[in-house]
Amino acid sequence: MSASETPVTDGFEKALDALRRAPYGVGDAALWEVEGSVLREARVHLEAWERVVRGLEVGRVTERGELECRDGVAGLVRKLPGPVAEVYGEALGEVDGRYMELTVEDDDAPGGAGGWWWGRRPRAGWA
Summarize pLDDT for 34-64 with one digit per residue, the tens: 445 888 889 999 999 999 999 999 988 889 8
Task: Name the more confident of 52 and 23.
Answer: 52
Please state, for a pLDDT cut of 90, what percent of the chain lies above it. Answer: 43
Q: Strand, coil or helix: what is 2?
A: coil
Spatial distance between the Cα atoms of 118 and 16, rounded to a whole number of angstroms: 29
Predicted TM-score (pTM) of this structure: 0.85
12-21 residue pLDDT tens = 999 988 877 7
- Side chain identity at 95, as an amino acid letter? V
Mapped to the 3 state alphabet, what secondary structure does 54-119 carry? HHHHCCCCCCHHHHHHHHHHHCCHHHCCHHHHHHHHHHHHHHHHHHHHHEEECCCCCCCCCCHHHH
Spans of all domains in the chain? 7-122
Residue range 68-99, pLDDT digits in tens: 989 988 888 888 878 888 999 999 999 999 99
